[in-house]
Structure 1
Amino acid sequence: MRRYYFDVREDDNLQTDDEGRDFSSFAAAQGEATVSLAELALGTMAKHGADHRMSIEVRDERGPVQTVKWFEIERLA
């Protein structure tokens, strides 16, 4: 088991995960980050609209291992 931490970035704000969670594989941690971001983004977009940047930055005890980003919507007019 390996411990992964999921730091949530919304626009310029970063909320760090000090506890982390144990996963049996990197793929399992990646899946958790993807699902968590989708759930978080749906709730946030319902409150604040689509003009919002979000990501989950995954790290382990050695440092960053992955960033999962929510898609970006750019208004042109």
Structure 2
Amino acid sequence: MTRYYFDLRDDKGIALDEEGLELSGPRAVQAEAAKSVADFARDAMLSAGLTGDRQEMAIEVRDASGPIMQVRFNFQIEDLRSQPQSRGH
């Protein structure tokens, strides 16, 4: 099995995965990257304010030979109650 590292990147920089995980191959790497980005996105959305600022984040996967995959996620939270209502709605 190969050891893969899942680095977290956002607008504040990159957090390197120093431990990594031993996985069986590309499908297992993709599944782990999807799980990691979902966890990362959940935490970021819970800590974000209702500012409407767009945020971008990524999981960058690498092995001993270098980068192999990047999974990106973008989101923007808008408080619809604070926006002016159009007439007729």
TM-score (norm 1): 0.84
Which residue of the partner structure matches residue 31 of structure 1?
Answer: 31
- CA deviation after TM superposition for structure 1 residue 23, in Å: 0.2
> In the TM superposition, what is the alpha-carbon distance from 1:72 to its structure 2 partner?
4.5
8 Å contact from structure 2 (residues 8, 16) kept in 1: yes
Where relative contact order (Cα < 8 A, 6+ residues apart) is larger, the structure is 1
Name segments (4+ residues, structure 1) moved above 4 Å.
Answer: none
Output the CA distance in 1 between the equivalents of 2:12 and 2:69. Answer: 18
SS in 1 for 2:18: coil
2:55·2:74 contact (CA, 8 Å) conserved in 1? no
Q: How many residues align?
A: 75
Question: Could you tell me how far apart the structure 1 residues matched to 2:35 and 2:41 are?
Answer: 10
Instruction: Percent identity, please.
Output: 41
For the aligned residue pairs, the C-alpha RMSD in angstroms reads 2.0
